[in-house]
Amino acid sequence: MSGVPADAFDLQALRLDLADTCWTAIEHFNEIASTNTHAMRAGVDGAEHGTVYIADAQTGGRGRGAHAWASPAGSGLYVSMLLRPALAPGDALWLSLAAGVAAQAAVRSVAADSKRGLKVGPDLRVDLRWPNDLLVGTRKLGGVLTEMQAEATRVRFVVVGIGINVHQQSFPAELATGATSLAIEQIATTRQRLLLALLRAVHHEVQALTAVTAEARTLAQQQLRIRLEQGSSWMRGKRVHVGEENAYVGTTEGLDARGFLLVRTDAGELRTVLSGGVRAAE
């Protein structure tokens, strides 16, 4: 074998299947430091809207903050999408949240296909933890990392990176209790099938959020907020721990009009989580 993963991508088939979407180019790497880092550099160099970067392995995969994303060869889906949306910087969070919804939908789709006609247990329950985590129970299945370059009133470009654990049967000791994969959850699929479902789902979300009229964009944001609150156990009524420095505990009360998480502290104060993440309160 020449180092090609057993579950290899068929780029020609992908391009044909995505011909009616916003994805204009697909670049594949056997190994790269980080698809997001590469996409950000490509954005600066003028790469076009709708360029997709996928890799079989990442040597420096990144998660939120300073967290690394384990990216062994052929085991997961590592993809970054470059977008040049006509949006104000304040609306960019919706693209990140929409990517999470799209990833959730894609995983549910391939899971349903995997179990169709088989009596192998209940449907896979995939949860969304604000702002960027895909969970099965308490274990992390995937995540979204969104980065952008912007001016005061407009976004120059956005890079939406998504990592999903697909074929891993085990994880390093430091991740073993907090991570899972589709294989561990008894979902048999291919990275190609998952990528196609993901890119189609993200396309539909992007089209809605970047509609021509302000009224249509606002409606898309409102509908996305409703779907997020309905599709996640973390958005309302969840006891959470917020932050590290000046941390506090409270109960989630949905999203504000910009997509930020609202948390009611134990002292009764309604606070807005503007950055970082949350975890379940002990």
| End-to-end C-alpha distance for the chain, whole angstroms | 48
Q: What's domain 234-280's architecture?
A: Roll (2.30)
Residue 200 has pLDDT above 60, yes or no: yes
Per-domain residue ranges of the chain: 11-225, 234-280
Give the pLDDT score at 121.
53
β-bridge partners, 242: 248, 278
Identical fold between 11-225 and 234-280: no
Rg of the chain (C-alpha set)? 18
| Assigned fold of 11-225 | BirA Bifunctional Protein; domain 2 (3.30.930)
pLDDT average, residue stretch 210-236: 94
pLDDT average, residue stretch 93-119: 87
Stretch among 55-59, 66-70, 252-256 having the lowest mean pLDDT: 66-70
pTM as predicted: 0.92
Per-position DSSP letters for 102-141, written without gaps between them = HHHHHHHHHHHHHHTT--SSSPP--EEETTTEEEETTEEE
The token pair that represents 58 in the structure block: 């990442």
Which residue is listed with tokens 């997020």?
A: 228
